[in-house]
A and B are shown apart, each in its own frame.
Chain A
Amino acid sequence: MSNIKRLALFFLGLGILFPFAYLAFLSFSGAWFFPEVLPGYFGLKNWKEILSTESDMGFSFFSSLGISLLVATLGTGTGFIWSKSIAYHAQKESWLVLAYFPYMLSPVVLAACLNFFFLKSGLSGTWQGVVLGQYLVAFPYSVIFFQAFWNHRTRQFEQLVLTLGGSSNQAFVQVLLPLAKGMILVCFFQTFLISWFEYGLTALIGVGKVQTLTVKVFLYIKEANFYYGAIACCLLVWPPVILLYLNKRFVYNRLV
C-alpha cells in the first residue's frame, strides 16, 4: 500500500471517529473558554449533575427509546403484513409511487399540515400523538422496503406449502416469517432510527411536552449549555452505533 493511501486511510479513520470522541470529550469537560484548546476541567461532574438533578435526561432517554421501539415495532409489523397486498396487486407500481409521497415529504411539514387533526383529536402534546405522527412516516417506508421480499420465489414457497396441505397461517408463520427474518430485523432497525433521529415532527406534535433526546439537544443548543448538549448527543449516537455493529455483524452479513 502506498504512503498516500495509508495517509488517506488515517484521515478517513480520524474523520469517522473524531465526532464520537469529541462529543464524549466535551461531555466530560467544563470551564472550556475561548481561546483555550483544552478544557479547564475534565471529569465526571457533568454526568453526575445530569443524573442527580432535575434535567430529566434519563426520562428523555427512556421516552425516546420507548417511542422508537413502539414506532419500529408497529411500522415494521404492519408494513410487512400489508406490503404483500401491494406487491401482488396488478397496479403495484402506481401504489408504490403513492407510497413515496408521504415518505419523500419533509416530516415536519406533514406534521404542520396535520396539526389541526392532532389538536382536534387531543393527541397533540401526548406521546401517543408523537408515536402516531412518526408511524405515518415509518409505515410507507416499511411498505416500500418489503417490496423486495415479496417476489416470485417467495410466492412459489407459499404456494408449495398450500399445495402440500398447509394452511395459509402455517405458510405465514412457518415459512414466510423465517424467510423474512433478516429483512424484518433490518427494517426494524431502520424504522427505529427514523424515529430515534426525528426532531421537527416530534417537537411540533409533542409541543414541548414530549421531550425526546433530539428535542433536548435543541434546547441545550438554544441555552448554549454545550456540556449537557454533548451528553444528550452521546446518548443519541451510541445506541445506534451499537445497533449498527450488531446489525452489520449478525444480520446484514448473513443477508448478502
Chain B
Amino acid sequence: MKSKPTFGLLFFFLLGLLPFVAALIYALLYSLGIVGILSEGASISYWRQVFQSGELIGSFLYSALLAGIGVALSVSLALLVSMGLRTSLQHRFWSLLIYFPLAIPGMVASFLSIQLLSKAGFFSRISMKMGWIDSLQQFPDWINDSYGIGIILTFVLIVSPFFVILFSNVYQNERVSELSTLAYSLGARSNQVFWKVTLPILFSKTKRIMILYFIFLLGSYEIPLVLGQESPQMLSVLIIRELKQFDLKLIPEGYVIAVAYTVVIAVSALLVFRRREVQVHE
C-alpha cells in the first residue's frame, strides 16, 4: 500500500481534530451570545454570570477533589494488592482473574453501588441481620450523599483493578525485583527498598497514566449522574444539566462551563504530553 502522508494527516485532521475544534468554536460562540435561538449579539454577560454565581468554580473544585481522592485511593489499594500479593498474582489463575473487573463499565458499577451501598442495599440488610443496626436510618448515607462517598467508592471499584495490573507489569518490565535484591545486598532494609527503590520506579513510570485517570474521572458522567446529588454536581453532569434546561436564556451558561472545561483539558494535554515521546504502553 502506498504511503500517503498528506492524505493521512488530512483524514486525521477531519475526523480526529475538526470535530473537537468545531465543538469548541460552536460552544464559544454560543457562550458569547453570537449563535443560538435567543442570541442578542456578542456579549460576555454569560461568562460574568457564571463566574459570579460561583457554580463553575464550586463544581470544578468538587470534581477535582472527588477525582483526586478516587485516584489516590485506587493507587494506594492497587499498590497494596500488587506488591503484597506479587508472587501469587503471577500464577496463571490470578493473572487472568485480575483482568475480570475491567469488564465492569461505569453504569454497571453505579448500579452495583446502589444495590450494595444504599440504605436498603445488601450491606444494610447484612448489618441488620447481624444486629449492627436496628433501623434503616442507622446505616450510613453513601448514595446521593453530600460528601460523594458513593461516587469515590465506585471510582475505586473501576480504577484500582487497572492499576493493580499496571503496577504488576511495570514491576516485571523494569526488573524491580533484581534492583531490590541488589539494594538488599548493599545492606538496605525492606522499608528502605520499598520507599527508595520500588515506589520511585513505579511512580516515575506510571505518573502520566495517573494524571490521565485523574482527568478521565474529572469528566466522568454516568457515575456522578446516578450516585451524585443535586448540588454541587460534577462538571459533566452540571454541563449537561445546564444545556438541557427548559429556560433557553440560560443555555449559554452551560456552554460557558463546557468551554472552560474543554480549555482546562486542552491545557492539561499540552502540559502532560508536550516534549515527550508519547506512548500508550509504558
Contacts and interface: CB of A to CB of B under 8 A. Distances in A.
The listed residue with most A CB atoms (<10 A of its CB), out of B2, B102, B255, B273, is B273
A24 interface: no
B17 A169 contact: no
B261 A109 contact: yes
Given A16-B98, A105-B265, A113-B26, 12 more contacts: A19-B112, A19-B157, A78-B15, A85-B4, A99-B17, A106-B220, A113-B23, A136-B15, A196-B105, A200-B222, A200-B236, A241-B100
Interface of A: 1, 5, 8-9, 12-13, 16-17, 19-20, 22-23, 26, 34-37, 78, 81-82, 84-86, 88-89, 93, 95-102, 104-110, 112-114, 116-117, 135-136, 139-140, 143-145, 147-148, 168-169, 171-173, 196-197, 199-200, 204, 214, 217-218, 221, 226, 229-230, 233, 236-238, 240-241, 243-245, 248-249
A237 B17 contact: no
Interface residues of B, number: 90
Interface stretch (B45-53, B114-122, B175-183, B185-193): B114-122
B215 interface: yes
Contact of A169 (B1, B11, B120, B136): B1
Nearest to B135: A35
Contacts of A84: 3, 5, 8
3 tightest CB-CB pairs across the interface, nearest first? A85-B8, A106-B219, A197-B105
Given A37-B129, A112-B239, A85 B12 contact: yes
B103 A237 contact: yes
A116 to B, nearest CB: 6
Contacts of B11: 78, 82, 85
Nearest to B122: A22
A200 B234 CA distance: 14
B111 A82 contact: no
Given A19-B112, A85-B4, A100 B85 contact: no
14 contacts: A8-B85, A12-B81, A17-B100, A19-B101, A78-B11, A112-B254, A112-B258, A168-B3, A169-B1, A200-B222, A221-B110, A229-B111, A237-B104, A248-B99
- A contacts with B: majority SS: helix
Contacts of B108: 23, 217, 233, 236-237
B58 interface: no
B1 A93 contact: no
Given A34-B125, A168-B3, A116 B103 contact: no
A5 B88 contact: yes
Nearest to A198: B105
Given A104-B268, A106-B236, A112-B239, A147 B280 contact: yes
Contacts of A140: 16
B269 interface: yes
Interface of B: 1-9, 11-12, 15-17, 19-20, 22-24, 26-27, 81, 84-85, 88, 94-108, 110-112, 114-116, 120, 122, 124-126, 128-129, 136, 157, 161, 212, 215-216, 219-222, 225-226, 235-236, 239-240, 243, 254-255, 258, 261-262, 265-266, 268-270, 272-281
A84 B12 CA distance: 11
The listed residue with most B CB atoms (<10 A of its CB), out of A81, A106, A168, A214, is A106
A102 B16 contact: yes
Contacts of B8: 81-82, 84-86
Nearest to B17: A98
B55 to A, nearest CB: 16
A12 B98 CA distance: 9
Contacts of A102: 16-17, 19-20
